[in-house]
Chain A
Amino acid sequence: MGDDTLNTEPVLHIANLHKEYYNPTTLVLSDLSFDLYHEDFLCILGPSGCGKSTLIRCIAGFEKYQGVIQIKGKDVEGPGTDRIMVFQDFNQLFPWKTVLNNLTYPLKLNGMTDKNERREKAEEYLDKVNLLEYKDYYPHQLSGGMKQRVAIARAMALGSEIVLMDEPFAALDAMSRNQMQDELIRIKEKEKMTVLFITHNIQEAISCGNRIMVMGKNGSIIENMKNPIEKPVTPASAGYGELWKHLNQLLRDNK
């Protein structure tokens, strides 16, 4: 665990975040406020169209917004490497670069001038997601789950303050999905990552998050709680059923 000084300043600070589309006027995010601390794994649940994707895109810097979004006290004004996004789409790796170069390229862009250093760092992180032997492959030769792992490795290698994940496993089959969840939890613990994870899957939120947030209509927060269940979470864990019911009820009531 990180020391206390690290944990007192939020990595992500959001206050009165507000966003609406005009013509016709639609409220997408209304007056959201929450903080995320170092090593938090926040899972955001919500029905389709509740604005959870817009929220993560605002944090990533892809969307304009009103209100405050800060990373370690610095206002978010456009995309940056302190917030690397992992998308749901498997095609987020550059197909014209090998797996290894998909990791070294952003390192080069961000000032790592020594070629060997870049390669070593990329290999180190590919090893962490167990894909070192695939480093010379091109993305189209990998499965969907492997591509997502490379994308996660890329985010970690860049030393991102917070990894933003927008339903990264939603397009995977159930088996690979469970595998990826386990792997993500393992890596997150080991690397002391801070993660903001969007999902519409209750099981996923309970399994992965140490905090769970539920968003309702018009992009408001209707639940923001600590996940009381000890890891590793299985459906047999104490309290799993109650929590599942509670979250399911919230989602139903706020469709």
Chain B
Amino acid sequence: MKKKLLAQIIFIIFVLVLWQVLFELKIWPKLLFPSIPMIGKALVKAFADRSLGQMILHSLGLLVEGLIIGVVLAFLLSSLSSINEQTAAVYNMIVCMFDLIPGIALIPVAILWLGIGDAAIIFMVVHSVIWPMSRSIIDGFKAVPRIYTEVGRNMGLKGMGLVFGVYLPASFERLFSGIKVGWARAWRGLISAEMVFGGGSALGIGYFITDRRTNLDIAGIFATIIVIVLIGLLVEYGLFRTVEKNTIVKWGMTH
């Protein structure tokens, strides 16, 4: 465990040093290839003077809002679709079709229907979340072992009680993987959308990186990329791993 971490740290240091050496060799103009200290300074400046922190919070706020709407809608639609085999088949088709559309391809629709702004971003996040989440719910519920539902019914659970008491926890691994896929897609989609909108009221991290390009601030661009990576790592290791450790790993339900 410690050895692996050490190797990873050594690798990062190696890349940083190599980068700086390449910079010192002056192969490319400074305007296109910034030094490590330049990126560091840009990073500080982004937060201190250009309110990147606020923009990140704004982006994440939209993301969480869209995630919640997407998950709730996925539950509602998946439940409604389970009324009979025909509705299930239709919803299954809808999920398959819409799941194939990259979020970014829906931006023109979002702009025309909802205008440039937060609503369009949320629309895209919901799109990114709802289909993989529906897939997880439908497959996850189907895969719940019969013995759990029978034990639940034996205890007197039925209807929604059975859903919350047995189906949800028993399929948690799949539901959570649906959320993870949804988050990954939404996060990418959100940054793309903000880059396309490039301003207006959509002042998020995607806007920030486009704005740095317009200003020919290459150090600022790399600084933003680093921030995007760090947020991804924080969510993956800080949030998702912690949730998993306290649920499916603790319950011995990982495969």
A78 to B156, CA, bound (A): 10
| B147 contacts A81, C-beta separation under 8 Å | no
Please tell me the number of chain B residues within 8 Å of chain A, measured between CB atoms. 21
Are A141 and B155 in contact, with the CB atoms below 8 A?
no
Binds B, one of A88-96, A193-201, A211-219: A88-96
Judge whether A84 is part of the interface by a CB distance below 8 angstroms: yes
A residues within 8 A CB of B166?
94
B155-171 contacts to A, CB under 8 A, are: 155-157, 161, 165-166, 169-170
A96/B156 in contact, CB under 8 A: no
B208 interface residue per 8 A CB criterion: no
Bound complex: CA of A169 vs CA of B247, how far in Å? 29
* Residue B253 CB within 8 A of the other chain: yes
Q: How far is the CA of A105 from the CA of B151 in the complex (A)?
A: 12
Q: Mark B124-162, 1 if CB is under 8 A from A, else 0.
A: 000000000000000000000101101101111100010
Q: Is A188 in contact with chain B by the CB < 8 A criterion?
A: no
Judge whether B151 and A94 touch: CB under 8 Å: yes
Q: Which of B154, B250, B252, B253 contacts A81 (CB 8 A)?
A: B154
Pick the contact of B251: A61, A81, A140 (CB < 8 A).
Answer: A140
Query: Is A239 close to B, CB under 8 A?
Result: no
Q: Does A60 contact B (CB under 8 A)?
A: yes
Encode A99-134 as 1/0 by CB contact (under 8 A) with B: 000000110011000000000000000000000000
**B residues 233-255 touching A (CB-CB < 8 Å):** 247, 250-253
B172 CB, min distance to chain A CBs, angstroms: 7
Choose from A79, A94, A95, A138 the contact partner of B150 (Cβ within 8 Å): A79
With a cutoff of 8 Å between Cβ atoms, the chain B residues found around residue A94 in the complex are 148, 151, 166, 169-170
Contacts of A81 in B (CB 8 A): 154-156
Interface pair B154/A138, CB less than 8 Å apart? no
Chain A residues with CB under 8 A of B165 = 105, 109
Indicate whether A95 sits within 8 Å of B155 (C-beta atoms), given known contacts A62-B150, A79-B150, A89-B147.
Answer: no
- The distance from the CB of A159 to the nearest CB of chain B, in whole angstroms, is 12
A-B contacts counted at CB < 8 A amount to 63
- A19–B162 Cα gap in the complex (Å)? 28
Between B166, B251, B253, the greatest number of chain A beta carbons within 10 A of the residue's beta carbon is seen for B251
Given contacts A94-B169, A96-B172, A109-B156, contact A138 B250 (CB under 8 A): yes
Q: B169 contacts which of A83, A85, A96, A110 (Cβ < 8 Å)?
A: A96
A73 in the interface, Cβ–Cβ < 8 Å?
A: no
Give B250's nearest chain A residue, CB to CB: A138
Do the beta carbons of A91 and B147 come within 8 Å of each other? yes
Interface size on A, residues (CB 8 A): 26
A140-B154 in contact (CB<8A): no
Q: Which partner residue on chain B sits nearest A83 by CB separation? A: B154
Bound-state CA distance A238–B135 (Å) is 62
A141 to B252, CA, bound (A): 8
Does A209 touch B at the CB level, under 8 Å? no
Contact B252 A60 (CB under 8 A): no
Q: Is the CB of A109 within 8 A of B251?
A: no
Query: A80 at interface (Cβ–Cβ under 8 A)?
Result: yes
- Which of the listed residues B145, B151, B165 has the most CB atoms from chain A within 10 Å of its own CB? B151
- A141: chain B residues at CB < 8 Å are 252
Check if A109 sits within 8 Å of B150, measured CB to CB: no
A residues less than 8 Å from B253 (CB atoms): 95-96, 140
| CB-CB nearest in chain A for B253 | A95
B161 to chain A, nearest CB (A): 8
- The reply to whether B156 and A106 form a contact with Cβ atoms under 8 Å apart is yes
A71 to B38, CA, bound (A): 81
- Given contacts A91-B147, A138-B250, whether A109 and B169 have CB atoms under 8 Å apart is no
Shortest B159–chain A CB gap in Å is 13
- Chain B: minimal CB distance from A136 (Å): 12
Is the C-beta of A244 less than 8 angstroms from some C-beta in chain B?
no
What distance in Å separates the Cβ of A191 from its nearest Cβ neighbour in chain B? 19
In the complex, the answer to whether B148 meets A60 with C-beta atoms within 8 Å is no
A sample of 24 cross-chain residue pairs with beta-carbon separation below 8 angstroms, ordered by A number, consists of A60-B150, A62-B153, A79-B153, A79-B154, A80-B154, A81-B154, A81-B156, A83-B154, A85-B150, A85-B154, A87-B147, A87-B150, A89-B147, A95-B251, A95-B252, A96-B253, A109-B155, A109-B156, A109-B165, A110-B156, A138-B252, A139-B252, A140-B252, A140-B253
> Residues of A with Cβ closer than 8 Å to B?
60-62, 78-81, 83-85, 87, 89, 91-92, 94-96, 105-106, 109-110, 138-141, 158
The 3 closest A-B pairs by CB, nearest first: A140-B252, A106-B155, A96-B169
